[in-house]
Every structure is written in structure tokens, then in C-alpha cells.
Amino acid sequence: MKAREMRDMPDHEIKEQIADLRKELLELRLSNATGQLENTARLPHTRQQLARTLTIARERARAAGLNGGQAR
């Protein structure tokens, strides 16, 4: 899913997406560690999707003023 499509999603769907991607990433890491993962390209792809989703969630939080200003 592209960032443009994710920005149109409501907040609760973004949170669900983050939870699903974290669970999927854990399962992929476990499968890879045990040698059962056939498509290893899914690991970086899922990690990138998670990062993209977290970035959008952070943008929304900062826009709403929930983070309290600057990061440093």
C-alpha cells in the first residue's frame, strides 16, 4: 500500500495496520530464524511498510499537537 493511500485511512485503521505489520514482521523473523521462510524478500518489504505506516501515524500526531513540540 502506498503512503498516499494510507493518508486517506482513518486513525483506527492505521493503528490496526501497525499492529498487523508488527505481528507479521515477528512471524517472518521467526520463520527466517528457523529456516522455514522461502521468500526472504518479504522481510525488508514488511519492515518498510511498517516504517511508512509509523511515519504517517507520527505525522498525524504532530499535526494534532499530541507530541508536545519538537523532538529534541
**Domain range annotation of the chain:** 3-64
Q: How far is CA 6 from CA 13, 32, 38, 40, 68, in A?
A: 9, 28, 28, 25, 24
Is residue 17 pLDDT above 90, yes or no? yes
Contact 17, 6 (CB under 8 A): yes
pLDDT in tens, 20-45: 999 999 999 999 999 999 999 999 99
Q: What is the pTM of this model?
A: 0.82
The rounded Cα 33 to chain-centroid distance in angstroms is 21
CATH of domain 3-64: 1.10.287.310
Contact 6, 52 (CB under 8 A): yes
Is residue 71 pLDDT above 60, yes or no? no
Report residue 35 as a C-alpha cell. Answer: 529456516
